[in-house]
Amino acid sequence: MKHIFLKTLNLLAITLIAASASAQNFFPIRWKINSSEKKIEADSIDFNRSWQSQGLCDLSGSAVFATNFNVNKKQLKLLAGKELTLTLNMQCQIDSLVINGSKVVENVTGQAGRKLVSVPLSVLVAGTNHALLYARQFTRTAGEGSNICELEGIVSTSETDIEIAPANHLFVDNVPSFDVKWSSTAKQNLEIAVFNEFNQKVYYHHQKIKKPGEGVVPVTLNGIAPGFYQCCAYLTGADESGYTQWIAYNPQQITCRPTPTEGYADYWQKAIEELDLIDPYFSMQKVDSLSRGVKDGFVLEFQSLGEVTIRAYLFLPRNRKENPVIIHLPGQNEDFKDVAKWSYRYPDIAEMALCVRGGQVFDLQNNPYRGIYMDCLRAVDFITQDYHFDNKRIALLGSGYGGGLALATAALCKGRIAALAYFNPFLCDIEHFLKTRPMYRIKIDSYLESINNTHTFDDVMKVLYKTDVLDMCSNIDCKTFFVSTLFDDDCPPHAGFAAYSLINAPKEYVIHLNRNSLTATYNDEMIKYLLNMIGN
């Protein structure tokens, strides 16, 4: 087993820098919130942390952020004759922003890039000021907290910015530690907070910076469990600023639910036995539009569990020898529309893009995943009975939803898969998944409401535990490559490592620094690994 460091230094430095005669941000990073749709448990929302981690995502209704901020007479005098600059780039739709009863902006589309708005100084008063931000359509963030809402004056006595210089986000067998460095020309309040993946605060530090100067606050995270941690630092008072970053501590040692779900093995064995009774009726049809490169493209059809017809795209090298093959398992809502380009790549490797059935995973009468996992097994059955393929060089690849399918397929096809590459898997370690992604509980509750609450949350959990791939992973015996991110509350890296720790085969992982599932470029990296494992 080995892991890969993307950087090799030993310190995560959070640096707070101050400069004179620049811009001052009056708005704080943490705002109070009220929602028209649901009760928000947090007393405030941190714009530097993801919506999902704070229970604020997947809202169809609106929410109102509120904050108070102070402006003194000296600041107003310095700003006399000037305008303020409002900077917005929010992961939501902004209907309006109101300061002391004056609407200063409206109808700002979420994640459309930075919007700069001039705000007249006359909206401010000496003393306490009040701002309201009316928002809706809180977008998927995948762990990213990149909201900007700043109100800046052109002249100020000090400015505070936070710069994180990541040195080594991955701590293996070393207690995580980092320095918070501050430098300021004014009095400030310094706060440092560290949260685990479950939004639990594991470290907190507060101090007053009583006079201008600079300093260093060392932070050591003793006694924490293996996992991922979000480190936050804030300066408040003379100016408002903050930033956040993630670290990983011994992620390869994450272990979850050591006792298998009761009846789990029998549940899947019966599904396999039922699949074996169904004639697959494999058929291949060549498609000219998919055969214009170095490989010929086909549409494959077969019968799967419940006698459902499943299709796949198949690309075969024209030399027709026994080819190694990569089976691509689909991610959420992935239909492989742009597969024609696959005929132009990897002339000595066959590739299959499997299109599994759909369905609501919370369906209590007919769990679609029972059929979906069997669809994947039947695809492997096709490979092993067809003369175009080398049965000893079958590889699986999947990301997110497809990552879970890849793990399940490798486990249920034990002894038939040579290599596996997966990215943060979905429906893995469901117990902790519900804690790291609160919006998934919202989806379950919405489903139960749609069926008039004829079943309970516990009923749904029984289905999800039977579907959870975590209990399968100890059966995986092929070479495995796991690509992860430091933060992602759509498909948490915690779950991916929970699976990784159970795999009893040669394995390695890589963690992408400062990238989540929306920005990570992981597919080419996984294919490169598989080509090295099964290629000529």
pLDDT in tens, 416-444: 999 999 999 988 999 888 888 777 787 88
pLDDT score, position 257: 74
pLDDT in the model for residue 237 = 77
What pLDDT shows up at residue 335? 64
**Percentage with pLDDT > 70 across the chain:** 84
Rounded Cα distance between 172 and 237, Å, is 37
CATH number of the structural domain spanning residue 305: 3.40.50.1820
Q: How many helices (H) and strands (E) would you count in the chain?
A: 9, 29
pLDDT recorded at residue 455: 87
Asked whether residue 128 carries a pLDDT value surpassing 90, the answer given is yes
- Band the pLDDT of 38: cuts 50, 70, 90: low
Contact between 350 and 316 under an 8 Å Cβ cutoff? The reply is yes
Arithmetic mean of pLDDT, 135-160? 67
Task: Flag whether pLDDT at 155 surpasses 90.
Answer: no
Residues 135 and 132: their CA atoms lie apart, in Å, by 10
**Per-residue confidence at 520, pLDDT binned at 50, 70, 90?**
low
User: Which DSSP letter does residue 109 get?
Assistant: -
Name the helix (H) or strand (E) containing 241: strand 241-249
C-alpha to C-alpha distance for 340 and 296, rounded to whole angstroms: 10
pLDDT-derived band at 22, boundaries 50, 70, 90: very low
Helix or strand (DSSP H, E) at 439: helix 438-450
Please check whether residue 509 lies inside any domain of the structure: yes
Token duo for residue 485? 């991110």
* H/E stretch holding 188: strand 188-196
Q: What per-residue confidence (pLDDT) applies to 392?
A: 95
Identify which of 248-257, 498-507, 512-521 has the greatest average pLDDT: 498-507
Is residue 51 domain-resident?
Answer: no
Report yes or no on 47 lying in a domain.
no
The answer to whether residues 149 and 91 touch, using CB atoms and an 8 Å cutoff, is: no
Mean pLDDT of the chain: 84
Query: Ranked by mean pLDDT, which of 65-74, 152-161, 182-191, 347-356 comes out on top?
Result: 347-356
pLDDT attached to residue 143: 58
Q: Which residue has the higher pLDDT, 239 or 351?
A: 351
Asked, for residue 451, whether it belongs to a domain, the answer is yes
Question: Following DSSP, what letter does each residue of 295-362 receive, concatenated?
Answer: EEEEEEEEEEGGGEEEEEEEEEETT-S-EEEEEEPP-TT---TT-GGGGGS-TT-EEEEEE-----TT
Q: Is the pLDDT of residue 139 over 80?
A: no
Q: What is the pLDDT of residue 352?
A: 96
**Sequence letter at residue 288:** D
8 A C-beta contact, residue 387 and residue 325: no
Domain that holds residue 451: 254-534
Q: What is the pLDDT of residue 162?
A: 37
Is 402 contained in some domain? yes
- The better pLDDT of the pair 516, 28 is held by 28
155: its two tokens: 């002249």
Report if residue 90 sits inside a domain.
no
Eight-state DSSP code of residue 502 = T
Per residue in 200-233, pLDDT (tens digit) is: 999 999 999 888 778 888 899 999 999 999 888 8
Domain presence at residue 43: no
Closest CA to 488 of 155, 251, 223: 251
Condensed to tens digits (0 to 9), the pLDDT of residues 373-398 reads 999 999 999 999 988 999 999 999 99
- Reference 242, options 232, 250, 252; nearest CA is 232
pLDDT (0 to 100) of residue 367: 84
What secondary structure letter does DSSP report for 156? Answer: -
Burial of residue 395 (CB within 10 Å: 0-12, 13-18, 19+) is: buried
What percentage of the chain exceeds 90 in pLDDT?
Answer: 45
Q: Is 395 part of a structural domain of the chain?
A: yes
Residues forming beta bridges with residue 33, ordered by sequence position = 65
Gap between the Cα atoms of 407 and 268, Å rounded: 14
Say what the pLDDT of residue 62 is: 78
Q: pLDDT tens across 273-299, in order?
A: 999 999 999 999 999 999 999 999 999
Instruction: Give residue-wise pLDDT tens across range 64-101.
Output: 999 999 888 888 888 888 889 898 888 888 999 999 99
Question: Which residue is it, tokens 């494999």?
Answer: 282
The pLDDT of residue 518 is 55
Q: What is the pLDDT of residue 7?
A: 35
Single out the residue of 437, 161, 387 nearest to residue 282, CA to CA: 387
Residue 293 or 2, more confident = 293
Considering only residues 68 and 257, tell me which one the structure prediction assigns the higher pLDDT.
68
User: How far apart are the C-alpha atoms of 140 and 8, rounded to whole Å?
Assistant: 32
Report pLDDT for 202: 95
Number of domains, the chain: 1
Strand order in the sheet with 479-485: 2-4, 507-512, 479-485, 419-425, 389-400, 323-328, 350-355, 308-317, 295-304, 283-286
Q: Which has the closest alpha carbon to 146: 94, 192, 90?
A: 90
What is the model's pLDDT at position 187? 80
